[in-house]
């Protein structure tokens, strides 16, 4: 005959009631009566810590290996206290100063440890037994070495710019560790990363120790440390602007030659410079010099030094430029001039040169109209005040009545001053 629903509910109630009573009874026994545990309670995975590492290092020693196999402590005592223990509030602390009790502090040593309880636990508990009574540590001699540090740039430079010098705030780093660990170090590097860089970039980046395969060493695993505790360096990638700068020449124009009838060619037309953007941005041309268009008749050619701005580099490598100038649409005529005089003389002057050939430049019609009487040469002796002797001085040619005719070339005359 099937159970009715009321009977089933009663059974469920009694089951729940029994559980609640059992838990309450356990709590009462454990925390009110608080008896001792019947069997030692095991706390496994207890962490091992060290003190005295600074003293070890001051004696050029270092712990290179620790036997950290599972440490289990079996505790007895009152239930309420033992139940609070765990591997998060119980630690095994080893005093490394104990290695100095041995004849040689280096080697494998079995060291005692003390249990340290955190958060107020450990009261009224006793250690019944432990999985191991000591902790084995390996101590080796600590050595140092100076490792050269190399800067590395990884990234890209913006268009019209180029990478300049890559520098570091330090050239080496002192590393401490065992001889075996130090021998694994092949080099050290500091890497700066950036993309599309158009200005000098400086960052503080970590120093990375590399093995012979160029792979980064895990310093913690190898027991390596930086002696000065400075594990970084400032790395700077200097950025230079690259610019094509035109070469130019200045002209002293005259009535028969100006930019309207002068053809100029410069080889090379420009040079490529690199330099600090703040410096190079202000340079839009390099002037080679000045040419007086009355100093030649129809054509001119000369070589000039290319003088670049300070703090820039000539990437083209061209240090000389050739300038060619040609005057278009002008004729020339040669006359012998005998009207030679001086001005601003302070003494008695005798003009030795009695006649001088002069080349005139202008239009064909103007040149045909010029007579020898229209042309004269005058030498200014202002710079020879209170001087005596014979000198060669430069004269100036005047073509009276013909403003569109120029005398071209040089006109040296000889004079004696008494």
Tokens representing 182 are 């130090």
User: What is the domain range of residue 261?
Assistant: 241-327
Same domain for 177 and 128: no
CA–chain centroid gap for 232, Å, is: 14
Same domain for 400 and 387: yes
Here the CATH number for the domain that contains residue 320 is 2.170.120.40
Same domain for 112 and 57: yes
Same domain for 163 and 89: no
pLDDT the model gives residue 1: 46
Tokens representing 141 are 């001699």
Count of domains forming the chain:
5
Domain boundary among 119, 138, 157: 138
CB 48 within 8 A of CB 71: yes
pLDDT the model gives residue 12: 61
Backbone dihedral angles phi then psi of residue 406, each to the nearest 5 degrees = -115, 145
Backbone dihedral angles phi then psi of residue 92, each to the nearest 5 degrees = -105, 115
Same domain for 233 and 183: yes
Same domain for 402 and 375: yes
Same domain for 321 and 245: yes
Tens of pLDDT, residue by residue, the chain (418 residues): 455 555 555 566 666 666 665 655 555 545 555 688 889 999 999 999 999 988 998 898 988 888 866 799 999 999 989 999 999 999 999 999 999 999 999 999 999 999 999 988 988 899 999 998 999 999 999 899 999 999 999 999 999 999 999 999 999 999 999 999 999 999 999 999 999 999 999 999 999 999 999 999 999 989 899 988 789 999 999 999 999 999 999 999 999 999 999 999 999 999 999 999 988 988 999 999 999 999 999 999 999 999 999 889 999 999 999 999 999 999 999 999 999 999 999 889 999 999 999 999 999 999 999 999 999 999 999 999 889 999 999 999 999 999 999 999 999 999 999 9
Here the CATH number for the domain that contains residue 95 is 2.170.120.30
Half-sphere exposure at residue 291, Cβ-oriented, CA atoms within 13 angstroms: 25
Same domain for 85 and 134: yes
Domain boundary among 210, 238, 266: 238
Complete DSSP assignment for 240-282:
EEEEEEEEEEEEE-BTTBSTTSEEEEEESSEEEEEE-HHHHTT
| Closest by CA position to 404, among listed 330, 340, 338 | 330
Listed in sequence order, the residues at least 6 apart from 97 whose beta carbon sits closer than 8 Å to its beta carbon are 52, 55, 56
Complete DSSP assignment for 107-166:
EEEEE-EEEEE-TT--TTEEEEEES-S-EEEEEEE-EEEEEEEEEEEEEEE-TTEEEEEE
Per-residue burial over 188-199, b = 16 or more CB atoms within 10 Å of its CB, e = otherwise: bbbbbeeeebee
CB 330 within 8 A of CB 385: no
- Report the distance separating Cα 337 and Cα 380, nearest Å: 17
| Residues in the chain, overall count | 418
Using only the alpha carbons of the chain, give its radius of gyration.
50
- Report the distance separating Cα 371 and Cα 386, nearest Å: 37
pLDDT the model gives residue 11: 63
Same domain for 147 and 125: no
Same domain for 245 and 234: no
pTM (2 d.p.): 0.62
Tokens 């104990």, residue located: 98
| Closest by CA position to 206, among listed 235, 183, 237, 172 | 235
């Amino acid at each position: 005959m099937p159970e009715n629903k009321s009977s089933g509910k009663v059974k469920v109630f009694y089951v729940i009631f029994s559980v609640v009573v059992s838990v309450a009874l356990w709590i009462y026994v454990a925390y009110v009566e608080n008896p001792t545990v019947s069997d030692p309670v095991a706390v496994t995975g207890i962490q091992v810590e060290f003190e005295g590492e600074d003293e070890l290092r001051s004696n050029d020693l270092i712990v290179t290996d620790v036997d950290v196999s599972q440490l289990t402590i079996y505790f007895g005592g009152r239930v309420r206290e033992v139940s609070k223990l765990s591997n998060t509030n119980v630690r095994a602390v080893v005093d490394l100063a104990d290695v100095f009790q041995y004849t040689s502090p280096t080697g494998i040593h079995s060291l005692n440890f003390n249990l340290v309880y955190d958060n107020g636990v450990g009261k009224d508990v006793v250690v019944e037994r432990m999985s191991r009574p000591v902790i084995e540590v390996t101590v080796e001699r600590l050595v140092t070495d100076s490792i050269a540090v190399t800067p590395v740039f990884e990234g890209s430079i913006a268009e019209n710019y180029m990478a300049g010098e890559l520098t570091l705030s330090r050239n080496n780093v002192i590393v401490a560790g065992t001889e075996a660990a130090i021998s694994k170090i092949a080099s050290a590097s500091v890497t700066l990363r950036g993309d599309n860089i158009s200005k000098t970039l400086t960052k503080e980046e970590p120093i990375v120790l590399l093995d012979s395969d160029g792979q980064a060493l895990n310093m913690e695993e190898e027991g390596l440390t930086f002696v000065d505790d400075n594990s970084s360096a400032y790395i700077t990638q200097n950025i230079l602007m690259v610019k094509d700068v035109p070469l130019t020449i200045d002209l002293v124009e005259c009535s028969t030659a100006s930019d309207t009838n002068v053809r100029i060619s410069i080889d090379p037309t420009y040079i490529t410079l690199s330099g600090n953007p703040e410096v190079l941005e202000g340079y839009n041309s390099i002037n080679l010099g000045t040419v007086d268009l009355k100093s030649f008749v129809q054509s001119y050619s000369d070589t000039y030094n290319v003088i670049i701005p300070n703090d820039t580099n000539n990437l083209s490598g061209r240090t000389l430029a050739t300038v060619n100038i040609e005057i278009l649409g002008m004729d020339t005529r040669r006359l012998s001039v005998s009207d030679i005089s001086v001005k601003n003389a302070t003494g008695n002057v005798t003009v030795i040169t009695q006649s001088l050939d002069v080349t005139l430049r202008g239009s064909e019609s103007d040149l045909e109209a010029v007579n020898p009487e229209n042309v004269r040469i005058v030498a200014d002796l202002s710079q020879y005040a209170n001087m005596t002797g014979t000198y060669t001085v430069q004269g100036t040619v005047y073509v009276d009545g013909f403003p569109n005719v120029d005398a071209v070339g040089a006109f040296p005359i000889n004079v004696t001053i008494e």
